[in-house]
Every structure is written in structure tokens, then in C-alpha cells.
Amino acid sequence: MAWWFHRSSYRRKVMAGTSRRANALPAGVAAVAAKDGGRRFRTRVVAAALLTGCWTAAAGTSYPERPITIVVPFTPGGTVDIVGRAIALRLGEALGQAVIVENKGGAAGMIGTAHVVKAKPDGYTLLIGSTTTMSIRPKLKPPVPFVPSRDLAPIGLLATAPQILLAAPNVPATNVAELKAFSKRQKVPLSYADAGAGTPQYLAGELFKQATGIDIVHIGYKGGGEKMNDVIAGHVQLTATELSNAGPLLERGQVKAIGIATAERDKNWPNIPTLIEQGLANYETSSWFGLFAPAGTPPEIVGKLNAELRGILANDEQRAALAKLGLTARVTSIPEFEAYLKEQNGRWEKAIEAAGMEMRD
């Protein structure tokens, strides 16, 4: 990052003196272009660019030259979609180009993620990655056709969000003790909505089942919006979701809060008890969201995007807007984001083992 900014003014000065035929290439390339002509021109220009190391640098300075697509690998309405649209708006303003959100839901986010993995690594197709798609599902069977650490380039962490356990409005419970009593009276497993095996919500349900003895049956959905609609309607009894997604529903009384999965109560929702204080020791689950590019994307482009993200997420107005949604903005360098990913992968691997889920070899 620092290298890119330090040398950008130098590149502008050098590029200003190049010929029209050299198409504003850096000086080392333009010199060859001026001396050569005919059929050898293109070969010499490319060779000089490779030798001087200026080809990708020039690409980085002009990026972006057309609209960028950010793929959200879930259907509209969920937290990943909310984060994606909030970031797309601000990133477009910062870059001076349209940033379009494209939803590609299905298979716990694997369809949309695989699409970005296969995309051209030119900075024009990006991904909102999350706990599900990066830290959990790739560790499970059946295996997915990519390895996040190999096939995607981390750009920056965007936000984190605690999870909350919710009940449908027709469930006669507002805490864990009441939910246990209701479960015993019902004598059949409680229905539990999630976005499929390999999501934080699925794991949260399995860990809750182990900690409380309440039997649940998983009902899978393609995305958070569809899932929450069925919980609100009372078709499904329980779910876990990010607090950012639950906030508006709680305000309108459309769902009931059973407990929040954090060590301490949330300052914006002080009346909601934690699951830990209700007897579920060490029950903490939260989700994270980050921006990724296909592996092989020029480092100058990745660095530029990281710089813009840091500016956006350090802005007090943007941080306050995300906080109202139950999200904590995170500002990271690329190395810091890589270290965070490593820590999260280890944390969720332990949760997968505790839940007894089958991991890939």
C-alpha cells in the first residue's frame, strides 16, 4: 500500500512525457515505442513493460475504468446483502465509478463464491466473503471446488456482527428456561431456520442443542430474507441471525429475542440477556464480512481498494450508520486482514468439531 502511494506521483510525471502512439505508457516503455515502428512495435512495448515492471503499475493508476461488480453470494435481504450494498455505495463514490451488487445465492454461498473464483482477476469482479463462505463451509464435506486461501485475494475486513437467537411470535418463550419448558410440552423437535449446513446459524443451532438439550430440526433456506419471513409468519419456530438483521424486526415486535451470543449485553439492546448469563457457558458466536478479489488480481489494484475501504470505514458517519444496523466497522490493512482470517478459521474449526460435523480431509 505505502509503496503504491509513494510512487504514484513519480509515475504520473513519467507518463506525462510519453508519445500518443505509446498510449501513455511509463517512460521505459515509451522510449522503446518512440524508437521502433512497424510490426515490431507491439512486441518491443510488451517486452519493455515486463522488464521495467511497469505494466501492472500503469494498470493500477488507471483503475477503475468501468463499473465494478460486487457479488453477494446470498439472496437479497440478509446481513451479507446489507453489508454489500452499504459498501458498494460508498466505494462507488470514492472510486468515481458505479459499483453494482449482484446476488448469486444458493448452496450456502458456494455458487456465488465459485463464480468469483473463476472470474477474470482484473479488479472488476469482487466478492463479499463471510464466516460461512470463507471459514466454515470450505472445511466441510462434500468438498467445494476451491480453497479460499489459494483462490481468493483478501482486500479488507468490513464489519463484524454478533448473533442472536430468535423465536417466532407464536412461540411462548422469551428466554432459554421458557424455551426448554415449551420444548418438553411440545414433545417434538422445534423447527430451526438457517441458510444450510456450513453457515454460522447452522452451527449456532447445533451448539445450542448440545448446551441445552433442546432438540431441533434444521430447515434450510437460500438466504436470510426468506428465512426470516417464515420465522415472522410463524412457519418456523427458531432461528439465529446477526443482530444487524434482527434489530428492525425486534423494534416492530415481529420476533422474540431469546438471547444474544456475546460475552456482554449489547449497549443498543441492554434488555436482551446474553446466552452465557442464562447458563450456556462460553456460548459466543459472531459473523464477519470482508471484501475479496480473485487470486492473481494485480497487487496495485488490491492495494488501492484496501486504501479506499480504510477511508470509508474510518469515517465516523459511516461507522455510526453501520452501528445502527448492529454492525461494528473494522479498519484493517491487508496483512491484518490475513491474520484475522487465520484466527477465525481456527476458531470455527473448533466449533465444527464440537458440533460433531464431518470435516473434509
> pLDDT of 48-67, one tens digit each?
444 444 444 555 569 999 99
What is the Cα 158 distance to its own chain's centre?
Answer: 7
Least confident of 25-39, 60-74, 114-128, 243-257: 25-39
> pLDDT of 251-261, one tens digit each?
999 999 999 99
68-160+289-354 topology per CATH: D-Maltodextrin-Binding Protein; domain 2 (3.40.190)
pLDDT for 111: 95
Average the pLDDT over 67-78 and give the result: 94
Angle between helix axes 299-314 and 79-95 (nearest 10 degrees) is: 100
- Cα 111 to Cα 35, 59, 256, 305, 345: the distances in Å are 50, 29, 32, 24, 20
162-260 topology per CATH: D-Maltodextrin-Binding Protein; domain 2 (3.40.190)
> pLDDT of 154-174, one tens digit each?
999 999 988 999 999 999 999
Residues 204, 272: contact at Cβ < 8 Å? no
Q: Where are the domains of the chain?
A: 18-52, 68-160+289-354, 162-260
Q: DSSP labels for 13-72?
A: HHHHT--TTTTT--HHHHHHHHH--GGGHHHHHHHHHHHHT-HHHHHHHH--SS-EEEEE
Q: How many beta carbons lie within 10 A of that of residue 177, not counting itself?
A: 12
Least confident of 33-42, 73-82, 246-255, 331-340: 33-42
Cell (9 digits) for 203: 452451527
Q: Do domains 68-160+289-354 and 162-260 have the same CATH topology?
A: yes
pLDDT for 45: 41
Is the pTM higher than 0.75? The answer reads: no
pLDDT for 60: 55
Q: Cell 478459521 appears where?
A: 345
| Amino acid making up residue 89 | L
